[in-house]
Amino acid sequence: QEIRDLAHSNPVASRAVLRLFDRYRQLIEARPSGPDDERPNASGHPATEAISDFIQENANHFPSLEAAAERIRADIDSIGESLETGLRTYLDNVLGIRWQLASLPHHLARRVSPDGRTLEVSDILPAESALFTTAHFLASRLASVEIDEIIVRSRLPQADAPVLANNVLASYFAAALIMPYEPFLRAARDCRYDVERLARRFGSSFEQVCHRLTTLQRPGLQGIPLHLVRTDIAGNISKRFSLSGLAIPRHGSACPRWNVYSAFLRPGEINVQISQLPDGESYFCIARSITKGDYRHNAPRRHFSIGLGCRIEHARQMVYSDGIDLGNATQIVPVGAGCRVCPRMDCGQRAYPPADHRFRLDPAARAESIYTRMGYPASADFSGLPAT
């Protein structure tokens, strides 16, 4: 509670505490260790953490990039062709750059030819990725002023963070160009946030649509306040953003009860969950696993799960809530933010005890898990933990 009070009363101080903790984690992880030495789960690079904070502080909404994307999209649409063809024609007419599919090294999505007159896009990219990387390139040429102004006004540390921010903001512009704000919001409301339907309509991927849905925060034209999380099969969180209020772990992995993890068990299917945190707040969450990789034989595949959700009071605005009794307590899945900070001692999925927990084991008794309250012997010490 003291941490929440600090965050609400003094955001600057709370950010300083976060930076201090990040630095502590970096020092812990950098120290030499033997094979038997235990250390915390690895945290992200300080620049990536700074970018996550930067996006969160701006509610993942950048009006100047929206305006730039709308202006350029209007010019492209005036050509009177499909977005893909119009975008290529626009590149040629405005920038004097010809668009061309090319056989590129496998690590490249695109490159500019040595003479600067041709944008070569990898011929093994999925169609939605080829479109996105083309729009991303356009950002570097036609939205650089807006991107630079945003970075200058930010409080990003002057190391790697501005470089990463440039790439992130170019991606934001690309999404805004492909999925224009008002038409996209209108379509989202019409289909009740059916992600797959939106992906089909706007020629985008499941992940691209989920990410775009989190940016709809224009005053007076706002979408549902959503949270987004992306994890790999090892549990590493590589994307996190929350307007719903859901606390997404800053370091390590999240709660194994989150459906963003169980989605790997049903590949390609939408998994729905009503999640309830220890503080009693409930969230409506969907998750789906995705696979990324090039269109070629023996191309390595990358496996992720995308989680998207909102507070329970917004659930009926999403098509995924149809047929679900949101008021039925048996539908609720008790979750936490992560084992180290979760007070649920009756959880069979617990991997670690809470960070402030002390316990003694009775050699005469054994529970199914040494971390579950119901199975603890009488000698267990639960002092300092809230009731579950």
Residue 222's pLDDT band, with cuts at 50, 70 and 90, is very high
pLDDT grade for 380, boundaries at 50, 70 and 90: very low
Query: Residue 197: pLDDT above 80?
Result: yes
The CATH class, in words, for 221-337 is alpha beta
Whether the predicted pLDDT of 377 surpasses 80: no
Beta sheet of 227-232, edge-to-edge order: 237-242, 227-232, 302-311, 282-292, 271-276, 332-334
User: In this structure, which topology does domain 63-178 adopt according to CATH?
Assistant: Arc Repressor Mutant, subunit A (1.10.10)
Give the pLDDT mean for 372-384: 45
CA atoms within 13 A on the CB side of 293: 12
Coil, strand or helix at 108: coil
pLDDT tens digit sequence for 308-362: 999 999 999 999 999 999 999 999 999 999 888 888 888 888 888 887 776 666 6
User: Residue 38, Cα to own-chain centre: how many angstroms?
Assistant: 28
Say how far residue 174 (Cα) sits from the centre of its chain. 17
What is the number of alpha carbons within 13 Å of residue 55 lying toward its C-beta? 25
pLDDT digits (tens, 9 = 90+) for 162-185: 999 999 999 999 999 999 999 999
| Cβ-contact 63, 71 below 8 angstroms | no
d(CA 187, CA 114): 41
What number of CA atoms fall less than 13 Å from residue 291's CA on the CB side? 11
The residue ranges of every structural domain in the chain are 63-178, 221-337, 339-374
Angle value at C-alpha 249, between 245 and 255, nearest 5 degrees: 95
Q: Give the count of alpha carbons within 13 A of 182, CB side only.
A: 6
Pairing mode, strands 332-334 and 118-122: unpaired
- Locate 345 and state its tokens: 């001692």
Q: What is the pTM of this model?
A: 0.84
